[in-house]
Amino acid sequence: MNAAAPIFDKPIIDRPVFDKPVFDAPFRARLHDLFRWRRDVRHFRRDPVPAPLLADLLEVACLAPSVGLSQPWRFVTVEDAARRDRILANFRAANAAALAAQPAERSVLYARLKLAGLEEAPCHLAVFADPAPAQGHGLGRATMPETTAYSAVMAVHTLWLAARAAGLGLGWVSILDPPAVAAALDVPAGWVFIGYFCLGYPAEEAERPELEREGWECRRGAESLWLRR
């Protein structure tokens, strides 16, 4: 792949002449494969992510739905070594506390899990939400202001799928102290921390997610999560 070329075609709505796309059965099958093979990646190769590729992925993430078309997500790429070290120290402290809080029957398994790829992943990305963006003029947020955070999560999911389609893996590092992350990255006051992510080329591929393989949990189908009224 030419790193300078876009990984996704220009958005169809921006073309002067376009045909309505047809999402046929083969496309839907491939899309299902993408959903099924999305992974929360913890094991990375150290190969750098080309800057144009990262830029393309963030552009695709900006196609995510957002309340009032407010696009409240804010991306922070963490490139400074000292800031990365502060994030790693934050994770280690939070992870030690989480391990100590595990029940005895789970502590050994928890200690064995690899819960972050912070040291190996070439790209670190923090995502925040602006809770009161000027864009969108407040539409849809009066009764549910938390939809700005939900919108940012939608952008993360869009990025996750786009990264997988481009051969990259994304890993969500959730075992962190949010105020300490905001302080380490020196972001504007008021931004809401959504998540810290490792991005890079996966070191391994597996049909089953790692937490399933390790015996931590199994994925359930919709029927067990579906309430009818």
Those residues with Cβ within 8 angstroms of residue 60's Cβ, 6 or more apart along the chain or in another chain: 8, 158, 159, 162
Which whole number is the average pLDDT over 100-119?
93
50-214 is a CATH 3.40.50.11780 domain: no
Q: What is the pLDDT of residues 162-190, one digit of tens each?
A: 999 999 999 999 999 999 999 999 999 99
Which whole number is the average pLDDT over 13-39?
86
pLDDT at 227: 94
CA nearest neighbour of 60 among 138, 140, 135, 168:
168
Q: What is the pLDDT of residues 48-74, one digit of tens each?
A: 999 999 999 999 999 999 999 999 999
Domains of the chain, residue spans:
50-214
Lowest mean pLDDT among 5-14, 68-77, 134-143: 5-14
- When pLDDT is cut at 50, 70 and 90, the band that residue 8 belongs to is low
Reported residue count of the chain is 229
**Is pLDDT at 3 greater than 70 in this prediction?**
no
pTM of the entire structure? 0.90
